[in-house]
Structure 1
Amino acid sequence: MRLTTRTNLALRTLMFCAVNHDTLVRKQDAAQAINASENHLAQVINQLGQDGFITTLRGRHGGFHLARDAGSISVGEVFRAFESSLPFIECFSDTNTCPLKDHCVMRPHLSRAVEAFYGALDDLYLSDLVRCNTGLEAILQVEGPRVPKRCAPVRANTGTGFPGIAPEAAA
């Protein structure tokens, strides 16, 4: 399975917003920080806004910011928003021309596998990606250094294979 560039940019953009949570960020700043073209990023920002992940403000002093708390934005939700409309394989497409389609029993197995992939990301939240991640903050932070914040204990691993970052590892 391979994710689209749009999904990759969407997650980077949301991480950028989460690191700069108290700032109305500009597309130019985000594009530079996440190494994306402004034109491509504009399409991603538009979809993030339509899907309710960010709030945008147009105009000369415009920009965007998270529409919800980073702790309520699941990575699985973001991936579904950007990937689910794209068929994983031809048999998931409305224009399926596979000659085996009437007799192949692979489709339900692939469908379960794709859902398991998204499901594994449902317990991973945007806040988990940025919390106490000073390296990420150094790369994505728009303004100068901020007062260091104390790292709160990270949620225990829920068995999904995505343990949190230990506070001492982030220092």
Structure 2
Amino acid sequence: MRLTDYTDYTLRVLMFCALNPERSVTIAELAESHAISKNHLMKVVNDLARQGLLQTTRGRGGGLRLLKPAADIRIGDVVRQTETDFRLVECFDPGHNTCTLTAQCQLKQVFWTAKQNFLAELDKVTLADVTCTRPASQGPGHALGGDVKRVPVSAIKRAAPRKTTANLH
């Protein structure tokens, strides 16, 4: 299974905001930091605002912030909202299934169970867990089960721009 670039960008926006809770983050800053088109990010930000996850402020001094605490944003919910197609194989789409093995095949059930387990695992993790911004009382890596060390945003090296042909919503 591969998540779309749109989901990747969505998670990056949320993570960047979680790592900078004391200030508003700009789309230009996100675009520069992640080497992503401002137009793509504007679509992502608009969707996140519509979902009630981001507060956006226009104009000079504007930007975006998390509307909910990072600990209240489950990664599984974000992925469900951004992924448009969980059909792992043709037979998941009854209207377009031409496989001649469907009546005898048990593989569909295996893939369905794997997808459910994948999403269930993502539901165990919050934005705070993946950004190490969980309150100290719950300890680092609370849901991840490990001793996760926080890396300051300034220490993250900018990755080379990714070429993408993703069809963004």
Please state which band the TM-score falls in when normalised by the shorter chain.
0.7 to 0.9
TM-score using structure 1 length = 0.73
SS at match of 1:112: helix
Alpha-carbon distance in 2 for matches of 1:94, 1:56: 40
Query: In angstroms, what is the RMSD of aligned CA positions?
Result: 2.7
8 Å contact kept, 2:70–2:133: no
The offset of 1:86, in angstroms, is 4.7
Alpha-carbon distance in 2 for matches of 1:73, 1:27: 21
Aligned pair partner of 2:140 in 146, 150, 154: 154
Alpha-carbon distance in 1 for matches of 2:92, 2:48: 24
What do residues 92-150 of structure 1 show as CA deviations (whole Å, max 9, x unaligned)?
336424233751443233122111101111111111122269xxxxxxxxxxxxxxxx9
Runs of 4+ in 1 over 4 A off after TM superposition: none
SS at match of 1:21: coil
8 Å contact kept, 2:91–2:99: no
Greater relative contact order: 1 or 2 (C-alpha under 8 angstroms, separation 6 or more)?
2
Code of the aligned partner of 2:21: H
Code of the aligned partner of 1:163: G
Matched, 1:163 2:164: no
8 Å contact kept, 1:91–1:101: no
8 Å contact kept, 2:25–2:64: yes
Alpha-carbon distance in 1 for matches of 2:133, 2:102: 51
Alpha-carbon distance in 2 for matches of 1:47, 1:132: 23
For 1:110, the equivalent position in structure 2 comes to 111
Alpha-carbon distance in 2 for matches of 1:32, 1:99: 45
8 Å contact kept, 1:13–1:34: no
Alpha-carbon distance in 2 for matches of 1:74, 1:34: 22
For 1:137, the equivalent position in structure 2 comes to none
Alpha-carbon distance in 2 for matches of 1:21, 1:91: 44
Alpha-carbon distance in 1 for matches of 2:62, 2:87: 35
For 1:14, the equivalent position in structure 2 comes to 14
8 Å contact kept, 1:131–1:151: no
Alpha-carbon distance in 2 for matches of 1:132, 1:53: 16
Structure 2 stretches of 5 or more lacking a match? 152-169
8 Å contact kept, 1:87–1:93: yes
The offset of 1:21, in angstroms, is 1.0
Judged with a 3 Å threshold, the aligned counterparts in structure 2 of structure 1 residues 29 and 170 are, in CA distance, closer, same or farther, namely closer
